[in-house]
Amino acid sequence: MSIFVQIAAYRDPLLVSTLKDMLEKATNPENLNITICHQYNPEDNYNLEFKEFKTHPQINIIEIPYKESKGLCWARNLIQREYKDEAYTLQIDSHMRFIWEWDRILIEMLESLRLKGIKKPILTTYPPHFEPFNFKHEETAPNQIIFREFDKHGIYPIGWPSEIPNWKVLTEPIPARFLAGGFCFSIGAFCKEILDDPHLYFSGEEINLAVRAYTHGYDLYHPHINITWHYYTRKETPKHWDDHFDTGILENQAMRRLKRLFEQSEKRTYYNWGDYGLGKVRHLKDYERYSGILLNENKIQDYTLMNLPPINPTIYNNEEEWKNSFYSYVNNYIHIPNSVIDENELYLYEFAHLRFMSNNDEVHQQALNIDEIWKNKSSDEKHCRIEINFKCKDLPDSWILELHNKHGGNNKRIKGRMPYFQAGLNGFAIKNCINL
């Protein structure tokens, strides 16, 4: 059975070794139809090594000079346009390693789910990390994708890899909430129904695909054994945002688009999404009930925070009771510049309180030791940062740091916007914190 393999590669010297490893370890390499969006700089040394694949009968290469590239989602969209009705599709990154007979194992795993009546399963995960120069094929724990935090814009949930509990005794894939763009295996029709949205840049791609796939009738699963490894850090390799200077604009435009998609849970305003909208098999709210995440409100249920498997419990009497089971979740840093508070004056204060406000109402408070405020100085020594991690009923829009004078003198109060409101995407301009 043929597999349409999708690889978006941006100036990646590991592309060649990824292709070799994938072909060598496949049970039936002749069944692989590989399309690569090769975003290249002709001065990169690895291009000479890549030449041998340019005439490979099973490899289709979309050549893009790196300066003309418009980002990850745009590149993946170009690849999907090359789909030729293959039975399956595998989307991966260009810096991977595989287990032996990975193609047979993936097909059997997917088909075992279809035999159970799951018509359109997706196998997806964040593979474990590997180092290219000392990689050894050993049994490795597979990962699930758990909720970590909402992004700095306060728009979408960020997933994070975590070892699947009791993975050694599992015999089948487990349900998943999230989708990983760097490893995703499904039926071939996925390429037609869930095209990557080229209007997105990089961030938000995965939750966009997860929500749209779920509403089109796809079901998400994590493989119960490890199929691939992924080289995550790649500090020595140029990234798209290193070579392009308009990425901040592209990212802001993408975040506005993603926010509009999530607003469909509550609003019914018309917008022509073309090939990139929600499906009609399920509603966006069905995904929110399944995952325990309110996308348009940045709220989450305790069940999801505890990394328990979906489907989330639905034992609620009505819509209001269900919504009241959600909390806002904050996992971020507050930055306080030296211009607002001087480290040398901290001896005046005995303790501090950090209060979090939503529409001028306090939603959370935490006590701080004075020494905590400056324990994490920035590398440029111009500000300190305070790590915050809590849940509350309403997402705070601002914070107030109160320093209490140990000698009964005047207390000091400092106010600032929450970090995720500093991008201008929620009606707030960029603002520094100020003395009150």
Q: What is the mean pLDDT of residues 183-201?
A: 97
Range list for CATH 2.60.40 in the chain: 332-435
**Residue 377: pLDDT over 80:** no
Q: What is the pLDDT of residue 270?
A: 64
- DSSP letters spanning 29-52: GGGEEEEEEEEE-TT-TTHHHHGG
Determine which of 1-10, 19-28, 199-208, 328-337 has the lowest per-residue pLDDT on average: 328-337
The class that CATH gives domain 3-241 is alpha beta
CA–CA separation, 150 and 334 (whole Å): 15
End-to-end CA distance of the chain: 67
Domain 332-435 has CATH 3.30.310: no
The average confidence (pLDDT) of the chain is 89
**Nearest residue to 5 via CA among 228, 231, 211, 239:** 228
**Residue 429: pLDDT over 80:** no
- DSSP letters spanning 124-176: E--PPB--TTS------PPEEEEEEEE-TTSSSEEEEEEEPTTGGG--S-EE-
Q: What is the pLDDT of residue 432?
A: 44
Residue 81 is encoded by which pair of tokens? Answer: 């346009």
CA–CA separation, 266 and 269 (whole Å): 9
CA–CA separation, 289 and 244 (whole Å): 39
**Residue 207: pLDDT over 90:** yes
Of all residues in the chain, the percent with pLDDT exceeding 90 is 65
Three-state DSSP class for residue 428: coil
Range list for CATH 3.90.550.10 in the chain: 3-241
Three-state DSSP class for residue 26: coil
